[in-house]
């Protein structure tokens, strides 16, 4: 099979377009012919050596959509999708024509999505679901402030929050693209600057947000804490530009803020499958819309796809295997 692989860490230039043996699925596993796979910022970081547990040589890639071609009879020919914090890191990933995964990881792709659209969902919606639904337990009628609303995770959180009946205040350096689901769904947009906290307080009657989902982290951490109402929940998923942070501990405990971390990389491809099944149901019911796919690249040009993501391309970047 054709695949992309790196044997040393570095920029996207270290990626090689290679021929590898097609996996032969072991007992309890299935072979998926990958139709499309997306490139996430975490894939670029993986190639750069950001993650200590990755050992090259490695085929990278987390998100995929494809067809089961070997495995249990009841799954043969099924269109499936998935993502995981193990594939592409501790086991070979999705930027190849085939991938072997446990049968427990199989989740049927939404019929309403193309393979390219389905491949663009995984990481962003899984970490959005983890932080919003599982950890913060956002409820109908609550207000959530989404820092980084114009990004992939911010857009996913916006859709999940609106489907749960919440009000969404989007925060960012730039407003979401006009054709994105987030742009259509947010109730208000607030520029991320020195005046952000005051404007969010005004929009919430002085109380602050019930939940703050910070998809930026690091440089935005203190802002995130300042937006939470008393006993509000703050979700952190990243540490952009600043790994260590400082904040007023007295203000924090007086406000009785709950601080939650969410890391989709802790979910292997089988662990993420239940969320993917719940997402599939929501997409097919019309509660979610696919994000904008900004660019398509053939597998042999995956190096260019990685470079585009590293450069900050807005919208999803997808690799076409065919």
Dihedral sign for Cα atoms in the order 47, 50, 54, 57: positive
pLDDT of 103 above 90: yes
CATH superfamily for 124-264 is NAD(P)-binding Rossmann-like Domain (3.40.50.720)
Separation between Cα atoms, residue 5 and residue 299, nearest integer Å:
11
- DSSP one-letter code for 110: P
- Fold match between domain 2-121+290-320 and domain 124-264: no
Separation between Cα atoms, residue 17 and residue 4, nearest integer Å:
5
Q: What is the pLDDT of residue 209?
A: 98
pLDDT of 307 above 90: yes
200 half-sphere exposure, CB direction, 13 A CA radius: 32
Which tokens go with 167? Answer: 């009000």
Interval 266-289 mean pLDDT:
97
Q: Is 38 helix (H, G, I), strand (E, B) or coil?
A: strand
Would you kindly state where each structural domain of the chain is located, as residue ranges?
A: 2-121+290-320, 124-264
Angle at the Cα of 83 (from 25 to 273), degrees rounded to 5? Answer: 80
Interval 293-306 mean pLDDT:
97
> What stretches of the chain show up as alpha helix (H) in DSSP?
41-48, 115-118, 122-129, 152-163, 181-185, 196-203, 221-227, 249-254, 269-284, 302-310
Residue with tokens 């071609």, as numbered in its chain: 69
Could you name the CATH architecture of 2-121+290-320? Answer: Alpha-Beta Complex (3.90)
Interval 311-322 mean pLDDT:
93
Distances (CA, A) of 168 to 155, 160, 175, 230, 316: 11, 10, 13, 18, 22
Dihedral sign for Cα atoms in the order 307, 292, 60, 96: negative
Q: What is the pLDDT of residue 314?
A: 87
pLDDT of 322 above 90: no
Interval 115-132 mean pLDDT:
97
| Strand-pair category, 228-236 with 16-19 | unpaired
Q: Are 146 and 160 in contact (CB under 8 A)?
A: no
Q: What is the pLDDT of residue 286?
A: 96
Q: Is 246 helix (H, G, I), strand (E, B) or coil?
A: coil
Interval 162-184 mean pLDDT:
95
Give percent above pLDDT 90 in the chain.
96
pLDDT in tens, 40-64: 999 999 999 999 999 999 999 999 9
The rounded mean pLDDT for the chain is 96
Separation of CA 107 from chain center: 17
Interval 236-242 mean pLDDT:
92
């Amino acid at each position: 099979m054709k695949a992309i692989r790196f044997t040393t860490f570095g920029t996207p230039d270290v990626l090689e377009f290679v021929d590898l043996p097609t996996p032969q699925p072991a007992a309890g596993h299935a072979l998926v012919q990958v139709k499309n796979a997306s490139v996430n910022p975490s894939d670029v970081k993986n190639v750069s050596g950001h993650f200590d547990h990755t050992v090259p040589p490695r085929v990278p890639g987390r998100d995929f959509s494809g067809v089961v071609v070997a495995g249990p009879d009841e799954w043969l020919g099924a269109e499936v999708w998935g993502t995981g914090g193990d594939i592409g890191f501790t086991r070979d990933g999705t930027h190849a024509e085939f991938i072997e995964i446990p049968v427990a990881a199989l989740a049927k792709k939404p019929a309403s999505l193309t393979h390219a659209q389905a491949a663009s969902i995984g990481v962003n919606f899984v970490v959005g679901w983890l932080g919003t639904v599982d950890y913060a337990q956002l409820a109908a009628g609550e207000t959530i402030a989404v820092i980084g609303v114009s990004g992939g995770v911010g857009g996913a959180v916006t859709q999940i929050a609106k489907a749960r009946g919440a009000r969404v205040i989007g925060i960012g350096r730039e407003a979401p693209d006009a054709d994105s689901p987030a742009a259509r769904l947010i109730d208000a947009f607030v520029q991320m600057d020195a005046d952000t906290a005051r404007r969010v307080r005004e929009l919430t009657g002085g109380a602050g947000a019930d939940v703050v989902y910070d998809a930026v982290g690091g440089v935005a951490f203190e802002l995130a804490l300042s937006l939470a109402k008393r006993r509000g929940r703050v979700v952190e998923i990243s540490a952009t530009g600043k790994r260590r942070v400082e904040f007023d501990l007295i203000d924090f405990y007086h406000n009785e803020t709950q601080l939650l971390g969410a890391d989709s990389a802790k979910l292997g491809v089988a662990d993420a499958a239940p969320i993917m099944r719940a997402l599939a149901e929501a997409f097919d019911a019309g509660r979610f819309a696919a994000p904008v796919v900004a660019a398509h690249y053939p597998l042999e040009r995956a190096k260019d796809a990685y470079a585009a993501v590293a450069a900050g391309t807005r919208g999803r970047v997808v690799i076409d295997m065919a």
